[in-house]
Amino acid sequence: MSFNPTSLLVTGGAGFIGSNFIHSFMANNPECTVTNLDCLTYAGNLKNLTALEGNRKYRFIRGDIGDAALVAGLLADQRINAVVHFAAESHVDRSITGPEIFVRTNVLGTQIMLEESRKHWQSAVVSDFRYLQISTDEVYGSLGDTGYFTEETPLAANSPYSASKAGADLLVRAYHETFGMPTLNTRCSNNYGPYHFPEKLIPLLIHNIINKKPLPVYGDGLNVRDWLHVRDHAVAIEAVLKQASPGSVYNIGGNNEWKNINIVNLVCDLLDERLGRAYGENRTLITFVKDRPGHDRRYAIDASKLKHDLGWSPAYTFEQGIAETIDWYLDNQEWVSEVTSGAYRDYYQSHYGGGAA
Ligand code: NAD
Ligand code: TYD
């Protein structure tokens, strides 16, 4: 029997994946109320959600997942029966230069989300409840040339980011094992698509190519990532939320491994064509730079459990998804320039009239 979310609390819904998820979920579930709790760090951008302004089923709350009283109030007042917890610090490079906020947001913040959700669930204000933790394949560490991460692969996180996500996943497991709380946990591979903050590889490449700036490739460029379109991720999350058994963990991935240098070359070539540049011109921007410390060599996800149990498979081919993504960035240069100039930070003030960021 499937679970029916009627009032959903999304955290981190102003970020890349959260905003794509809200658009996808609300289009598929127009009867469900969605409350988006986001404190708008540098990665949170309400411009990702302008299409929902005026939608009576959607509300935005600016606040921190670390504010237990706020979270408790939202759960009770909105009669929330499902939580999808995206909010996190998400950039590996930032976790190397400043790990503390990663522990605060990703570990302690998750603990507060879990604890307030547990109290709310046990108060039986709603008859059924689900808590879904959004996680990453990076919790499994790094692979050699062969093999795949399954849900049984031991957690062996290597960066402060992935360690903080693994800590959060273990807390989720603990809340299920200890309290019987109906938790779910998904671990997805690298996402790409619209609204991706342009310090991550694919949007950074597009932005720098358009502006004829160097394309930094870490190390030898032979590290492998397994790329999935963000909308395929959103559909998988919805399937897990509605159909998965409490306590379960699902890997999400599209079986789409690429060496970094091959992605860089592909994006260069697609943009040569679109920008009317000579074939090979953009590749001259490629600049090999010092490697990221502890740079995981290869990620590859085995998502067969998700396919087998819930019938999910990606709708996008990479060819279609990357072409559409490049076109989206070209068509939305205002979004990009507001992000790079920092102007998106004024949006909350002008639309919601709240305190300064
Ligand atoms: P993002 O950095 O684009 O967005 C994170 C959002 O969380 C932002 O809107 C930010 O304002 C918000 N946030 C941060 N701290 C907060 C706090 N204390 N309180 C409230 N809101 C807060 O991240 P993303 O790429 O959209 O990733 C979303 C989730 O998916 C994360 O949990 C990440 O670990 C996971 N994930 C990401 C990828 C990927 O490829 N980007 C892949 C797998 C899993
Ligand atoms: P990123 O988008 O930061 O995701 P993650 O580190 O979570 O996988 O990086 C994807 C890959 O691209 C990763 O192997 C690091 C590499 N990379 C570069 O080579 N140059 C860059 O400028 C960035 C941001 C990443």
Digit-coded pLDDT (tens) for 278-336: 999 999 999 999 999 999 999 999 999 999 999 999 999 999 999 999 999 999 999 99
Q: What is the pTM of this model?
A: 0.97
Whether residue 261 has its Cβ less than 6 Å from ligand 2: no
Q: How many CA atoms lie within 13 A of 277 on its CB side?
A: 17
For domain 7-196+227-256+298-317+342-352, give the CATH superfamily. Answer: NAD(P)-binding Rossmann-like Domain (3.40.50.720)
Q: Is 347 a catalytic residue?
A: no
* d(C-alpha 336, C-alpha 357), whole Å: 19
Extract the tokens encoding 170. 């273990």
Transcribe 311-334 into DSSP letters: ----S--HHHHHHHHHHHHHHTHH
Nearest-CA residue for ligand 2 atom 23 is 201
Cβ atoms of 180 and 217 closer than 8 Å? no
Among the listed residues 148, 161, 250, 329, the single catalytic one is 161
Nearest-CA residue for ligand 2 atom 6 is 92
Q: Is 137 a catalytic residue?
A: yes
Structure-token match 């917890």, residue found: 85
**Bridge partners of residue 263, in order along the sequence:** none
Extract the tokens encoding 142. 């790094």
Among the listed residues 38, 89, 138, 169, the single catalytic one is 138
Q: What is the mean pLDDT of residues 112-121?
A: 98
* d(C-alpha 98, C-alpha 304), whole Å: 36
For the CA of 42, the nearest ligand: 1
Q: How far apart are the CA of 246 and the centre of ligand 2, in A? A: 33
* d(C-alpha 285, C-alpha 56), whole Å: 47
* d(C-alpha 97, C-alpha 91), whole Å: 10
Cβ atoms of 288 and 250 closer than 8 Å? no
For the CA of 251, the nearest ligand: 1
Nearest to 322 by CA among 189, 192, 191: 192
Q: Is the pLDDT of residue 355 over 60?
A: no
Long-range contacts of 174-177 (CB under 8 A, 24+ apart): 175/114, 175/118, 175/131, 176/246, 176/247
**What is the chain's mean pLDDT, rounded?**
96
* pLDDT of the residue at 356: 40
Nearest to 325 by CA among 228, 211, 193, 229: 193
Query: Angle at Cα 230 formed by Cα 292 and Cα 250, nearest 5°?
Result: 85
Cβ atoms of 355 and 67 closer than 8 Å? no
Query: Angle at Cα 60 formed by Cα 57 and Cα 65, nearest 5°?
Result: 125
Q: Is 138 a catalytic residue?
A: yes
Q: Tens of pLDDT along 192-219?
A: 999 999 999 999 999 999 999 999 999 9
- DSSP letter for 143, please: -
Domain ranges of the chain: 7-196+227-256+298-317+342-352
* d(C-alpha 306, C-alpha 232), whole Å: 12
Cβ atoms of 240 and 250 closer than 8 Å? yes
